[in-house]
């Protein structure tokens, strides 16, 4: 090889080396960043306990009350029972008086040391007087925890143009207005005590636009933004606000009866929520303040979606899923009609 060729090779090598080194460094940094994030999510989801596992920070076993909306079934009922077990007195808030009485009797029998109160309100039709009565009923209590659990979805997936107006109105009234008004009634009581916990039960539909559940999806997106804003407002008062990001749980709302690794029973789900308060878990790197995805499989799914981006693919997939659910639901209704 001629000396000129050797010199050209050497010069070429030196010219390429900085770029190669830079690319290797970028690749190594990216891998390190992904590994750190994955480890962080894993530790929060499976190892690290929440900021107050015993819930004493919020008044457990100190005479404080937990207010739970939608408290006669599913997730809400489980929150009531597990908060009573943790040492709270419980105010059960729901529409049906008979179910309220039955749930209160069951709760008192299981946890006699926990005082139980009930308040009946139909959040779909509630007016200012109804909310004033609720506020009055809570005003004399030391409220340490509020669980805004009450919620409504569509009867079956449907395009907006096919969605009944009354269904849309009820979804907004229950998912948005009720959360605002109940929270507004409770927050002054928590500020007075300089502590509190507000859990707003969210949904993956609030993070991923969900065609054919557009109204429901929009209300859950509202809860995410509301929780982030309210959490920043109230942290100066030692009040924790958390949107609990939820995939599916067996319940009347989800219409799923059989539990699985992705669809836990309400009792299992609530245990994970209460054990991980203050930890974002799967929502750790999703740029959603005051949001937690605590249940282990939901956490991993949320983190995976964050890695790949919450773009049009997930929206299109959700659209296809809901079209299939609607098709099967209509066939079921047709068979019943026959």
**Residue 203 annotated as part of some ligand binding site:** yes
pLDDT at 32: 82
Residues 338 and 320: their CA atoms lie apart, in Å, by: 28
Range of the domain at 278: 53-335
Domain assignment present for residue 80? The answer is yes
DSSP-derived 3-state class of residue 93: strand
**Residue 265 vs residues 227, 270, 271, 275: alpha-carbon distances, Å:** 25, 9, 10, 16
pLDDT at 51: 84
Residues of the chain with pLDDT under 70: 1-19, 22-26, 29-30, 310, 338
The secondary structure of residue 178, as a DSSP letter, is: H
Domain assignment present for residue 25? The answer is no
Contact indicator for 295, 262 with CB cutoff of 8 Å? no
pLDDT at 145: 98
The active-site residue, picked from 111, 131, 159, 216, is 216
Domain assignment present for residue 27? The answer is no
Half-sphere exposure of 134 (CA within 13 A, CB side): 27
Phi–psi pair at 242, nearest 5 degrees:
-145, 125
Residues 274 and 321: their CA atoms lie apart, in Å, by: 31
pLDDT at 338: 47
Domain assignment present for residue 258? The answer is yes
Hey, what are 177's tokens?
């207005």
Domain assignment present for residue 44? The answer is no
Domain assignment present for residue 12? The answer is no
DSSP-derived 3-state class of residue 94: strand
pLDDT at 29: 66
Output the domain CATH number for residue 231: 3.40.50.720
pLDDT at 258: 93
Domain assignment present for residue 133? The answer is yes
pLDDT at 320: 97
216: annotated active-site residue: yes
Domain assignment present for residue 1? The answer is no
Domain count, the chain: 1
Residues 66 and 84: their CA atoms lie apart, in Å, by: 8
pTM for this predicted structure: 0.91
């Amino acid at each position: 090889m001629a000396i000129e060729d050797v010199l050209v090779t050497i010069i070429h090598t030196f010219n390429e080396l900085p770029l190669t080194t830079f690319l290797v460094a970028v690749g190594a940094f990216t891998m390190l960043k992904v590994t750190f994030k994955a480890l962080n999510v894993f530790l929060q989801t499976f190892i690290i306990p929440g900021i107050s596992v015993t819930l004493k920070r919020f008044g457990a076993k100190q005479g404080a009350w937990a207010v739970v909306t939608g408290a006669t079934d599913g997730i809400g009922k489980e929150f009531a029972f597990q908060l009573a077990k943790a040492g709270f007195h419980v105010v059960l808030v729901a529409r049906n008086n008979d179910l309220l009485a039955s749930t209160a009797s069951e709760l008192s029998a299981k946890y006699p040391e926990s005082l139980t109160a009930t308040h009946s309100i139909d959040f779909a039709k509630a007016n200012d007087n109804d909310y004033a009565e609720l506020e009055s009923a809570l005003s004399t209590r030391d409220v340490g925890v509020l669980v805004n659990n009450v919620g409504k979805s569509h009867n079956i997936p449907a395009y907006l143009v096919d969605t009944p107006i009354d269904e849309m109105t009820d979804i907004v009234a229950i998912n948005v207005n009720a959360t605002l008004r109940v929270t507004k009634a409770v927050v002054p009581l928590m500020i007075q005590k300089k502590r509190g916990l507000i859990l707003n039960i969210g949904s993956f539909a609030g993070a991923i636009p969900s065609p054919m559940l557009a109204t429901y999806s929009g209300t859950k997106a509202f809860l995410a933004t509301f929780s982030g804003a309210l959490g920043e407002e109230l942290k100066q008062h030692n009040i924790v606000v958390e949107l609990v990001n939820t995939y599916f749980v067996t319940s009347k709302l989800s219409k799923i009866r059989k539990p699985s690794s992705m669809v836990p029973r309400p009792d299992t789900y609530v245990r994970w929520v209460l054990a991980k308060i203050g930890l974002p878990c799967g929502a750790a790197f999703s740029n959603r303040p005051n949001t937690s995805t605590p249940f282990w499989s939901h956490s991993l799914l949320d983190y995976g979606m964050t890695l790949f981006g919450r773009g049009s693919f997930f929206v299109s997939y959700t659209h296809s899923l809901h079209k299939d659910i609607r098709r099967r639901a209509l066939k079921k209704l047709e068979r019943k009609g026959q």
